A and B are shown apart, each in its own frame.
Chain A
């Protein structure tokens, strides 16, 4: 933490190269255990309560941290007095911007950084000071005793207002952070060629990750070594940020994250609280547990940016899209945080169209910075695009599934050089999904129901999607230790964020080495003891780690075969080992099955104790792109008296390549749909635009997540299993994000089918449904009155 430490004691001295990555193995033929319904390898720990999550870690002498945050969306801190707090019962440390060692830079990205405790508070929830005390109660008491003098400034918390001239400026120079445009073809020409053109403005509200486990860590120093148990999606990314901010060598920063209670993108990296935890631990010379409060987790650790999108699209009578135009804005809060990131992607890549123009402006407001949130940008874009597709279909009177089938791209249109996909199951997702769902019949039955009087209307809707990444890629290293009794230890850096990573990797080991999952022990997510991995996000963990695990197994296997060849008196140098193969507990000669040796009896293996296989993630295919696809279908019931919408059933048809574990696969699909229901129907951040600029609903009562009563138990998962051998040697693509992309748009389309009303803004909750109905009724009434007046006038005239 002092000055940057020197790392190299010599320069220009060569060091041995790491081994070359192995050659890619053949794809699996028929698998024995991959793709089965296998319960999780760490299920026991999770259901028994014995799994130790970072928030459960207890160390001898551990004390508890708490952070004081700005109550104002925009203020300058003139002074902070922590003296009273420091002397309160149980308090062991108190720090603020003036404390020694706390004067650190916090990087938001490569260009923009602030101080860890920056006097300029640009959002409610910015950090001001922190304490650590023997109990969390004492820590909260001390926080309340800190005296802060603020110079409270005017604020702007609505991005639509922030763009108007004369608005309060979040940063000097205006609130327009940047405008990203993309263009291909000629949209004007496209609109001219269209038989029908539709234009509509959409809005998605801000959604907040709120994983069940709060954000936080336990930090502990041993001299100049720091160990942090962090609730994170990636221990190595946390390590590098902590080392960077504290100016420490990576090797002295150990991050452990064996379990974590959800992140959804908001725990991809270290946060200010990680650094604050470390500083408090240093100042108190004690381990410190530093977890946020639930309220703080709503304002300070990320969100899905709210977006405003005006979309204009043209279509020919046969369903061919002639032009797509998107113009709008979104906000990542008070710092650059990708407010508009990837909102345009589906417009540019999902459906075939020659003429596309997108323009999205990222805006600053006085609110907490965004963080990646499960499929960044995509659910927002999908909300608008999928509704537009339905509106176009209505105009030309064709079926929603058909208009999408009409526009399936063969190549990635948004990428340079239009590379083909390694595999694309969009068409099959649409066809097989519609068929399994009973789309045609359900549509007809709903329409028949809606012709009848009665206040319960039914609707059936759908949406499709692609996810921009999901192919994974290097780097990753995995070590497999094959013990002399045939049991296996798998060592990898990747976190299991609840997606079943550990289980899937155990299945890869089992498949490749022919051992039972019960003899596989996994060590993961610890920078001190496990191998390098990038954070679990982007739906890339399976396509990144699974091939790496497979490579490690193959490496171990090859070594064991050589050892067996020696025992069998074969010439190892003469590549006789290639004649051998694993068969249950034995190694057997393919050409002469009488030649075999029990693995347990292989001499060298016994002598060494174990064989270590090392796997590296090879490169992705050149000039091609790896992407998962999906289509989701749903049926809803709308109570036109109360405005309540009940989702009756959902079906997700997903092309994510090979299914690795059917049980966890289904779970991902249902979980993604559940989250999409939240995005479309229950969740929205309410900022007090008029008076205080504060968030008004920073709790789970007022910011409602879907509960067991808000999602249908009738959910179906239809895997479209194209084994993508070009993608990687396991044939699997990512799944965790596409599962939540088309959900909300599909619901909006179903509600439209039920009611004829078009909900352009999230969330579709009873309040907004009722309001929209009232408005429509009033408009109808006014329209009728106007008509009859006109008629009367005519008669009179």
Chain B
């Protein structure tokens, strides 16, 4: 990444450097795994002519990648098949993002990639280079809870708490995109995150109250 503010970075077609190092087709034919993952998250990095020309990585090779997570850069060696979730949890030690299914069904692994909630289990680490990644840990304000987290705590929007970091991050992403959602938008926005404990009514309340808190916070003095 050169100069750009990652949050505003758009991955312009054909010119974006995020895709250096691996092509989607090359990756799929060489490894024959993770096809669904790449397809589902392919929108992140659409295949382009420029991307095709880039160097290939063999299955067993480690790629040196730099990930920007919660505002810090981490450079590490990663196998092309490693998911972003695996790297975040096991290599960076950020275990707030959880593993529920590793197949894009539950949302326990939800992180923000350039402000958009995404399943980190369906995103390869190599794909996430150059993007601004935010995990639940990144929503903290030092040792203090962020507004969405605070709302979840106050409304008791969880039971076992295992889906909770994913719910919190999903809510944060939706509120960043739309600070004042309708009830229906909240439900739709949160429907990609399963809660087996069934804390949905409280989650719903928490997201509404978080929207309120964020709006007040943004307004300065409140």
Contact = CB atoms under 8 A, between A and B. Distances in A.
Sorted nearest first, the 7 A-B pairs with minimum C-beta distance are A49-B96, A261-B162, A674-B198, A498-B160, A46-B161, A498-B159, A671-B198
A675 B101 CA distance: 19
B161 A294 contact: no
B193 to A, nearest CB: 8
B165 to A, nearest CB: 5
Contacts of A675: 196, 198
A46 B164 contact: yes
Contacts of A700: 101, 105-106, 194
Interface in B107-146: 108, 135-137, 140, 145
14 contacts: A39-B153, A49-B135, A58-B90, A135-B82, A212-B195, A261-B161, A294-B101, A498-B158, A671-B159, A671-B197, A700-B194, A707-B200, A709-B188, A713-B201
A50 interface: yes
Contacts of B150: 47
Interface stretch (A268-276, A662-670, A784-792): A662-670
A108 interface: no
Contact of B98 (A89, A213, A498, A706): A213
A605 B131 CA distance: 57
Nearest to B194: A705
Given A43-B153, A58-B93, A211-B160, A667 B196 contact: no
A713 B191 CA distance: 13
A667 B95 contact: no
B196 A262 contact: yes
B215 interface: no
A259 interface: yes
Interface string B160-178: 1111110010000000000
Contacts of A211: 160, 162, 196
A673 interface: yes
Contact of A262 (B162, B168, B188, B204): B162
B17 interface: no
Which of B60, B93, B98, B99 is most buried by chain A, counting CB atoms within 10 A of its CB?
B99
A709 B201 CA distance: 11
Does more than half of chain B's interface fall in helix, strand or loop, or is it mixed? loop
Interface in A527-579: none
B95 A49 contact: yes
A259 B101 contact: no
Contacts of B203: 708
A294 B194 CA distance: 14
A293 interface: yes
Interface string B177-196: 00000010001101111111
Interface of B: 60, 79, 81-82, 86, 89-90, 93-103, 105-106, 108, 135-137, 140, 145, 149-150, 152-154, 156, 158-165, 168, 183, 187-188, 190-204
Contacts of B137: 48-49
Interface in A694-722: 699-701, 705-709, 711, 713, 715
B102 A55 contact: no
Interface string A480-500: 000000000000000001111
Given A53-B98, A674-B200, 17 more contacts: A44-B153, A45-B161, A48-B136, A53-B162, A55-B98, A58-B90, A137-B79, A212-B197, A213-B162, A294-B103, A666-B202, A667-B202, A668-B159, A670-B199, A699-B101, A706-B198, A709-B187
B99 A214 contact: yes
Interface in A241-283: 259-262, 264
B105 A708 contact: no
Interface string A35-59: 0000110011111111111011010
Contact of A670 (B79, B154, B198): B198
A40 B156 contact: yes
Contacts of B192: 707
Contact of A699 (B96, B98, B103, B135): B103
A210 interface: yes
Given A137-B82, A700-B106, A48 B195 contact: no
Given A56-B95, A294-B102, A294-B103, A708 B187 contact: yes
A711 B86 CA distance: 32
A46 B158 CA distance: 8
B200 A713 contact: yes
Contacts of A50: 96
A136 interface: yes
A433 interface: no
Given A40-B156, A137-B82, A708 B95 contact: no
A264 B135 CA distance: 28
Nearest to A210: B196
A473 interface: no
A333 interface: no
Contacts of B191: 707-709
